[in-house]
Homo-oligomer: A and B are copies of this chain.
């Protein structure tokens, strides 16, 4: 008998009919003579509805009371799925964070898990129960409910799989796995059988919203055997695993192309170039809670330099305010901003063993006269900022250039 953790997202829990479908997927795993722990998200739209109630009355995103409100969606889901399982003749028990003892820090709205006490879950499993855990929630030192941030149920599932040393953690969602690119942009995109942890982390941070990035980091740290599968279609899904030496012999140079239209860029031009300028600018932006993605500083010409960086679109207004104040203080010439941009990234652990991925990428874009405005690279990723209007074209071109399409399947 193995222990399997399954996680179902909001779309899978969308209505009574779908919850019944989820129940039958859980049951078929149970019937394989496995112990099953299920982690559930709120019914789709429910977390937003609850958050809006809290905001309407004057709440903030990161607040004890807001967390108490928005965590109820998962509680409802856990109860409903347990009922659906009971009705099919299976013993099932819903459990909340205070019962599973998912201890977190006190960062409401974005808490981090310290520990999980597996004993209570084990007792329920020993009584032949399917355990249904409300995802997204933990408790702090005072027993107050905390939430783990958007997509937090993924992290709940992975953390429980780690704490109980599960055979497998299956993240069920509305797609059939991880794809080489967004199929709505690239019709030839195909499901990957395997994605490596490093790649998955880059993808998660690049707007490929299959898994919460923290859940991937967690799985990597605790060596959880992780899969992404479809709730609605049977199939092998995508396995997320460590790359081994054998793998690296045959791996692709690039395994996926991501397109992120959610960034905007700001430039401060003509800054008198003195040490500490970048530090001054970016620490005031960080103090405001804004996250900067790409940064480019031009070489200094006649004692003046330019600084360009990107933030998410929703943070643009706030970032612009801060940057304009800094520009005045630093005696810079002007501040420019542009939210008509897209970030196109190619990702693959195979880059480590192939030379020239960057130049292949740049030539492919240049052949289509797509101008590259910013570049950033990591060991297994290259990202380019291009004009927004080229977002889809650039994605398709690169998908083809690196032979990722259905017809190129190995």
Q: Which residues of A contact B (CB under 8 A)?
A: 16, 19-20, 50, 53-54, 56-59, 63-69, 71-72, 75-76, 78-80, 82-84, 86-87, 92-94, 96, 98-99, 120, 142-145
Give the contacting residue for A53; candidates B75, B76, B78; CB below 8 A: B76
A16 and B57 within 8 A (CB): yes
Closest Cβ neighbor of A60 among chain B residues: B83
Given contacts A86-B65, A99-B142, A99-B144, contact A79 B94 (CB under 8 A): no
Q: A69: shortest Cβ distance to chain B, in Å?
A: 4
Closest Cβ neighbor of A71 among chain B residues: B75
A68 to B93 Cα, complex, angstroms: 10
Instruction: Find the residue from A20, A56, A75, A79 having the highest chain B CB count within 10 A.
Output: A79
A80 and B57 within 8 A (CB): yes
A-B contact pairs, 27 of them (CB 8 A): A16-B53, A20-B57, A50-B76, A53-B80, A54-B83, A57-B80, A57-B84, A57-B87, A58-B83, A59-B86, A63-B83, A64-B82, A64-B93, A65-B93, A66-B79, A68-B75, A68-B78, A68-B82, A68-B96, A69-B75, A69-B76, A71-B75, A72-B76, A75-B75, A98-B98, A99-B143, A99-B144
Residues of B contacting A78 in the complex (Cβ-Cβ under 8 angstroms): 65, 68
Give the contacting residue for A69; candidates B66, B68, B79, B99; CB below 8 A: B79
A393 to B242 Cα, complex, angstroms: 81
B99 and A83 within 8 A (CB): no
Q: A194: shortest Cβ distance to chain B, in Å?
A: 36
